[in-house]
């Protein structure tokens, strides 16, 4: 087990174009870190640089206090679970799991104990003699994890390991990975494009976009105070509503005759163009009179527990999440109150969250 430090790490394939623009993160011993972002944001590349599968163009990565920039993957004491599992198709489950141990010269007895222990944790006992092609998707996923566990490495690296599973299995494996991490306590780095996985698994998450780290923090902290428009839109489902407007007299005119007051601490440095962010779940239905926000209902999506109310404020589309049976009729006027402490304010030009 070890802590992993990433300092000023940059990556480019062709001179002058950076796919990763300098990442600084340090990951504590035993922490479960999720790197999340849309495809092409550089999250897998960052993970592969930690694994040693990609060269580091600039900066430093250290594992357990040792700089590993020029260390071969096999000597970094890490294990990786690949998106397509990368199981050796010609080897049995047992051989797949023990391959790394055999190469490292472990004794037969030691290998046996470790594999059996991992098989027990992952409930793979009955399948040890099978070939990967005779297993279901979920079982292959477990074998891939088993191969990582038996090595007892300093860190686990997961590269979108759940994206090839169907929705139900994905939920189940998510829980198992959580459980596994509680039991083993190994430092883990998990890459995904799925913000639900990130929210549920992470101790802390790293939100990346276009090769840049947008925010690092605990899931709820990121949810409560997204650092940028990108993070605000990426984390949370349905996505946060954005109402761009211009600031006049300490209030943001978001169109449709709606003015939203800027909190006092932000007033001083407020730019001219501000985007107000409101999560759909923070629009509260209210009675006539104390409403702050009204708009005609265009569409309703009934999801069972919740209903999504769609409409427009000025020209900007808006979604509110209400209790399943509480949806207003289409064509009627929806009335919502705003929760001032739940509003987010961003500089429209830079995309950054406004801070006092």
C-beta closer to other proteins: residue 97 or 240: 97
Through-space distance between the first and last CA atoms of the chain, rounded to whole angstroms:
39
C-beta closer to other proteins: residue 161 or 217: 161
Task: Let me know the angle formed at the C-alpha of 160 by 168 and 93, rounded to the nearest 5 degrees.
Answer: 80
Q: Which residues of 154-187 are buried (b: 16+ CB within 10 A; e: fewer)?
A: bbbbbbbbbeebeeeebeebbebbeebbeeeebb
Residue 177 CB, nearest approach to other proteins (Å): 18
C-beta closer to other proteins: residue 65 or 89: 89
- Binding of residue 84 to other proteins (CB under 8 A): yes
Show Cβ contacts of residue 202 under 8 Å, excluding neighbours closer than 6 positions.
Answer: 32, 33, 34, 190, 218, 219
- Binding of residue 99 to other proteins (CB under 8 A): yes
Q: CA of 8: how far to CAs of 34, 168, 303, in Å? A: 19, 39, 44
C-beta closer to other proteins: residue 83 or 294: 83
- Find the binding residues for other proteins in span 40-69 (CB under 8 A): 51-55
Residue 138 CB, nearest approach to other proteins (Å): 19
Contact 164, 82 (CB under 8 A): no
- Binding of residue 314 to other proteins (CB under 8 A): no
- Binding of residue 136 to other proteins (CB under 8 A): no
C-beta closer to other proteins: residue 60 or 88: 88
How many C-beta atoms surround the C-beta of residue 103 within 10 A? 9
Q: Give the span between the Cα atoms of 141 and 332, in whole angstroms.
A: 49
Interface pick for other proteins out of 8, 66, 74, 269 (rule CB under 8 A): 74
Show Cβ contacts of residue 260 under 8 Å, excluding neighbours closer than 6 positions.
Answer: 243, 245, 251, 252, 254, 276, 338, 343
Interface pick for other proteins out of 133, 168, 182, 325 (rule CB under 8 A): 133
Q: Which stretch binds other proteins (CB under 8 A): 70-78, 250-258, 262-270, 341-349?
A: 70-78
For residue 325, the 8-state DSSP code is G
Show Cβ contacts of residue 341 under 8 Å, excluding neighbours closer than 6 positions.
Answer: none
- Binding of residue 83 to other proteins (CB under 8 A): yes
For residue 352, the 8-state DSSP code is B
Interface pick for other proteins out of 50, 63, 80, 227 (rule CB under 8 A): 80
Residue 343 CB, nearest approach to other proteins (Å): 45
Q: Which stretch binds other proteins (CB under 8 A): 36-44, 74-82, 135-143, 345-353?
A: 74-82
Q: Which residues bind other proteins (CB under 8 A)?
A: 51-55, 72-74, 78-80, 82-84, 86, 88-90, 99-100, 103-104, 133, 147, 151
């Amino acid at each position: 087990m070890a802590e992993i430090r990433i300092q000023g790490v940059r990556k480019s394939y062709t001179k002058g174009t950076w796919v990763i623009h300098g990442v600084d993160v340090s990951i504590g011993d035993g922490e479960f870190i999720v790197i999340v972002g849309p495809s092409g944001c550089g999250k897998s590349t960052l993970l592969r640089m930690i694994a040693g599968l990609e060269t580091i163009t600039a900066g430093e990565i250290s594992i357990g206090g040792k700089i590993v920039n020029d260390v071969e993957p096999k000597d970094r004491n890490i294990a990786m679970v690949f998106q397509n599992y990368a199981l050796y198709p010609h080897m049995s489950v047992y051989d797949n799991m023990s391959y790394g141990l055999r190469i490292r010269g472990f004794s037969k007895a030691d290998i046996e104990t470790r594999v059996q222990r991992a098989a027990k944790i992952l409930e793979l006992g009955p399948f040890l003699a099978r070939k990967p092609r005779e297993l279901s998707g979920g079982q292959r996923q477990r074998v891939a994890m088993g191969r990582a566990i038996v090595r007892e490495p300093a860190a686990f690296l997961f590269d979108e390991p759940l994206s090839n599973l169907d929705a139900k299995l994905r939920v189940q494996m998510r829980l198992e990975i959580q459980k596994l991490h509680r039991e083993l306590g190994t430092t883990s780095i998990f890459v995904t494009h799925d913000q639900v996985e990130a929210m549920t698994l992470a101790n802390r998450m790293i939100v990346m976009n276009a090769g840049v780290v947008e925010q690092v923090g605990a899931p709820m902290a990121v949810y409560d105070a997204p650092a940028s428009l990108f993070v605000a839109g990426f984390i949370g489902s349905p996505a946060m509503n954005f109402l761009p407007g211009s600031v006049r007299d300490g209030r943001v005119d978001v169109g449709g005759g709606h003015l939203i007051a800027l909190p006092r601490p932000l007033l001083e440095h407020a730019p001219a163009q501000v985007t107000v962010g409101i999560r759909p779940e923070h629009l509260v239905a209210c009675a006539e009179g104390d409403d702050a926000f009204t708009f005609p209902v265009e569409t309703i999506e009934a999801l069972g527990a919740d209903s999504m109310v769609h409409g427009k404020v000025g020209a900007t589309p808006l979604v509110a999440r209400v209790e399943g049976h509480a949806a207003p009729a289409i064509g009627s006027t929806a009335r919502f109150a705003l929760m001032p402490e739940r509003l987010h304010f961003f500089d429209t030009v830079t995309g950054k969250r406004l801070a006092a």
